Chains A and B, each alone.
Chain A
């Protein structure tokens, strides 16, 4: 699941202003953004209405099956003709969806959301910061909880000194290291934390 957050409407309006006189189609995504309620039916229709109230020429709002994966632009247009009629797309999906539609549509695209992390949807709960796509995965050593992603400081050798009562010093979140330690201890597997872990090999992302 790719985690997205709504952008402030002011920011969206100021982006749209940079493309005057273009008609717009708002595009949501039927997978992640719909599931976590950032780019599903309700959000797309609310955005469409908001932009129309601001006097913008919004032709329609559509949810595509998956914004990041399609056969071709033509096949998308066959299913959603409004996409082709508009001069510009405001895409309420993750960055991958915005980029793909930008590449294949030949039209200006604007992001309607901010993409923040790889996470999960567990029933109605959105879980963030599961993976930073470092290209050098060893999450099995950390009880399945990646500290490169779950710890804001990406500490791979243990917690920093800001872990107080199991809470992280940054924002309202748990200290992932308190959790990793708790699980490994309960499984009798603390030896997995032995030894010094090397830093991420960023070369592997290229």
Chain B
């Protein structure tokens, strides 16, 4: 069953993120993904996340597909103009990749190649529109494709962005552009997430909440400072500081967040720091294993 069907069934979904390598050897990424076997409905593969140069996610998605995983390939508008976006969508489809998470992408100055020319030829809404057109058998200029794609496109949103009004406006456009699901930025404040979910409910779109189990107080502070759109409350940072086993405390915080938002979303997406060694345990703590 494909991810679109799982979503359609109303099941509470679990997805998890893996990153392509900074070199040619993908064995480490595949080994990391093996920890997720039997645990997740799909594996997300990132696209030069945080503007840090990595291998193309097409390759890793393809290899994970061969291992039996359903994959969600991230696609940013930062690194490709409309020609390249279409080429890569066709390539992904031909390799059996069925799900695309469309996003604008972090700005290049966030990453390890700050002098990069940012592309942003299309925005995330227009990328969703493009995917819908290709699914209907035409390219961005409405000229027929030799054969259509059949891609399930998701979009991203940040419940913590303020003011919320313009964010919701954009979310509505993503729904209008036929996004099938929304994956959110990491949630650390259940009240903030629930406010967003309430405001988005009228769209009827399934929301998958992003979860990052914290590893240390230091790492939480780093994320607050360096990751766009992430806002970890002081209370969580204090708990991490006081904890004898910070990694376990991070999982407890994550499990509590999941419990507090569970009725307001249709799934969670785990984005661990440094591998999936603890993902099974976290899902056990939430009764999601």
**Among residues 103 to 133 in chain B, which have CB atoms less than 8 Å away from a CB atom of chain A?**
104-107, 109-110, 118, 120-126, 129
Tell me whether B120 and A163 are in contact (CB under 8 A).
Answer: no
Docked-complex contact A199 and B123, CB < 8 angstroms:
yes
Give the size range of B's interface with the partner. Answer: 35 or more
Contacts A164-B161, A165-B162; A181 near B228 (Cβ below 8 A): no
Q: Quick check: B110 and A169 within 8 Å, CB to CB?
A: yes
Minimum distance in angstroms from A146 CB to a CB of chain B: 14
Q: A154-B120, A196-B126, A196-B177 are in contact. Are A161 and B167 (CB under 8 A)?
A: yes
**Most A Cβ at <10 Å: residue of B110, B165, B177:** B165
Residues on B with beta carbons closer than 8 Å to the beta carbon of A193: 169
Known: A169-B106, A196-B125, A196-B177. A153 touches B166 (CB 8 A): no
Which residues on B sit within 8 Å (CB–CB) of A162? 106-107, 158, 161, 228-229
Given A160-B104, A161-B156, A199 and B165 contact (CB-CB distance below 8 Å): no
Tell me the bound Cα distance from A156 to B104 in angstroms.
11
Q: Determine whether B173 belongs to the interface, using a CB cutoff of 8 Å to chain A.
A: yes
Q: Which one, A153, A170, A199, contacts B82 given CB within 8 A?
A: A199
- Contact among B120, B129, B158, B173 with A153 in the assembled complex (CB-CB below 8 Å): B120
Q: Does B11 contact A (CB under 8 A)?
A: no
Contact in complex: A181, B158 (CB < 8 Å) = no
Q: In the bound complex, how far is the Cα of B164 from the Cα of A166, in angstroms?
A: 10
Which residues of B are found within 8 Å of A200, using beta-carbon distances?
121
In the complex, whether A171 has a CB less than 8 A from a CB of chain B is yes
**With A162-B161, A196-B126, A196-B176 in contact, is A157–B231 under 8 Å at CB?**
no
**Residues of chain B lying within 8 A (CB to CB) of residue A178:** 163, 166
CB-based contact B123/A156 at 8 Å: yes
Residues of chain B with a CB closer than 8 A to A169's CB = 106-107, 110, 228-229
Cβ contact within 8 Å between A158 and B170 = yes
Contact residue range for chain A? Answer: 20 to 34
Indicate if B185 sits at the interface (CB-CB under 8 A).
Answer: yes
Q: Taking CB as reference atom, which chain B residue is nearest A163?
A: B161
Q: Does A198 contact B (CB under 8 A)?
A: yes
Check B160 for interface membership: any CB of A closer than 8 A: yes
User: How far apart are the CA atoms of A200 and B120 in the complex, in Å?
Assistant: 11
A196 B129 Cβ-Cβ under 8 A: yes
Chain B residues with CB under 8 A of A30: none
Chain A residues with CB below 8 A from B121, complex form = 199-200
The A154-191 residues at the B interface (CB cut-off 8 A) are 154-166, 169-171, 177-178, 180-182, 185, 190
A181 to B169, CA, bound (A): 9
Residues of A within 8 A of B161 (CB): 159, 161-164
Evaluate whether A153 and B107 lie within 8 angstroms (CB atoms) in the complex, with A162-B228, A196-B176 already known: yes
A159 with B166: CB separation less than 8 A: yes
Interface residues in B203-255 (C-beta closer than 8 Å to A): 228-229, 231
> What residues on A are CB-neighbors of B156 within 8 Å?
161
Distance of A111 Cα from B144 Cα, bound (Å) = 48
Contact with A along B88-110 (1 / 0, CB 8 A): 00000000000000001111011
B157 interface residue per 8 A CB criterion: yes
Q: How many angstroms between the C-alpha atoms of A79 and B100 in the bound complex?
A: 63
Residue of chain A at shortest CB distance from B78: A153
**Chain B residues, CB < 8 A from A152:** 107, 118
Q: Across the interface, do A170 and B104 meet the contact criterion of CB distance under 8 Å?
A: no
A166 close to B163 (CB less than 8 A): yes
- Say yes or no: B162 contacts A171, CB within 8 Å: no
For residue A202, which residue of chain B has the nearest CB?
Answer: B121
For the complex, what is the distance from the CA of A198 to the CA of B140, rounded to whole Å?
A: 11
Q: Tell me the minimal C-beta distance from A158 to chain B in angstroms.
A: 3
A164 and B166 within 8 A (CB): no
Q: Which residues of A contact B125 (CB under 8 A)?
A: 157-158, 196
- Choose from B126, B129, B167, B231 the contact partner of A159 (Cβ within 8 Å): B167
Given contacts A154-B120, A196-B126, A198-B126, contact A163 B173 (CB under 8 A): no
12 CB-based A-B contacts, threshold 8 Å: A154-B123, A155-B120, A158-B173, A162-B161, A164-B161, A164-B162, A164-B228, A169-B107, A181-B165, A182-B163, A185-B165, A193-B169
A-B CB proximity, top 9 nearest: A158-B170, A161-B158, A162-B228, A169-B228, A157-B125, A181-B166, A161-B229, A170-B107, A160-B104
A residues sitting closer than 8 Å to B (CB atoms) are 152-166, 169-171, 177-178, 180-182, 185, 190, 193, 195-196, 198-200
Known pairs A159-B167, A162-B106, A198-B126; list 7 more (Cβ under 8 Å).
A157-B123, A157-B170, A159-B166, A169-B228, A170-B109, A171-B109, A185-B165
